[in-house]
Amino acid sequence: MLLIRDFEETAEELYMAGKVWGTFHLYVGEEAVAVGACAALQPEDYITSTHRGHGHCIAKGADVKKMMAELMGKKTGYCLGLGGSMHIADLEKGNLGATGIVGSAIPIAVGAALGCKLQKNGRVVLCFFGDGAANTGAFHEAVNMAAIFKLPVVFMCENNMYAMSFSVKKAFAIADIAERAQGYGIPGVVANGNDVLEVYEITREAVERARKGEGPTLVEAKTYRFKGHSKSDKNVYRSKEEIREWMRRDPILLFEKHLLEEEKVDPQKLQEIKQKVEKEIEEAVAFAEASEELSIEEARRLVYAE
């Protein structure tokens, strides 16, 4: 969680300094969802991600050097600098990638799960998507198919309370998005998305169910993004008081408090972890800045085909 937080805050600084181009969608505040969920997977399992996917990548074991290089448009990036923030994929780690199209990774996850079932390889697909994607046709079609064929997929809805600037209170006629599961005859579970241990336990049960051939589960992790939807978001649709209230439930602070109160780690160890993370991110930035950019000719050759 600290690695994701530091990566995001550093990426934002690089953006403000003009070293990261385009736009990106920060995951700050939602770290417990990605970490708790991916911790319930085996290394060979798959994930599909979203436009807010840096946390998913890191939680699944991505190299932050290659991620930072991708954001800065360098040849050493995951997609040679051509994909940018919203299109990182890491097939070696089971990350099937993401796009900027809301809900687009949900049918991809179901297709991957169908492949796993046909191949009988015992793998599970964890599908991340936001609350806004739960109102797309792709969501309904994909979940319906997964339920019919009992595919090994876990649908992880990261409900951060706003689809861009639109509140879930206005976007849904139900209290919990997890209620949607009833229409497809599959389990629907709500998790405290700021509690990494709760996310882990609920995801672990869903993954075990999927691996046993019992079909999909819809998990709704209720969380909150501390930053705007994207870097162009002026945050005029929510109050500062609301943001401050959610920041008191910071998943990192909550987990630190738990570790200290349960005497599972001492303050010195926590400080060592923070220093290690800071060094790792510093090395990632140095790697990216020292890396070579693609030439226009190389980029054209890789993007266009006769």
- In this predicted model, what pLDDT tens digit does every residue of 73-121 receive, in sequence order? 999 999 999 999 999 999 999 999 998 899 999 999 999 999 999 999 9
Residue with the bigger pLDDT between 295 and 144: it is 144
Q: What is the mean pLDDT of the chain?
A: 96
Q: Is the dihedral of CA 182, 188, 190, 194 positive or negative?
A: negative
d(CA 97, CA 277): 24
d(CA 219, CA 275): 34
Grade residue 231 by pLDDT with cuts at 50, 70 and 90: confident
Residue among 232, 61, 186, 57 nearest 128 (CA): 57
Residue among 170, 189, 194 nearest 179 (CA): 189
Contacts of 124 (CB under 8 A, 6+ apart): 41, 42, 45, 46, 113, 116, 152, 153, 154, 207, 210, 211
Contacts of 131 (CB under 8 A, 6+ apart): 157, 158, 159, 160, 161, 162, 163, 168, 171, 172, 177
pLDDT value at position 250? 98
pTM (predicted TM-score):
0.95
Residue with the bigger pLDDT between 232 and 132: it is 132
Give mean pLDDT, residues 198-203. Answer: 98
pLDDT value at position 232? 85
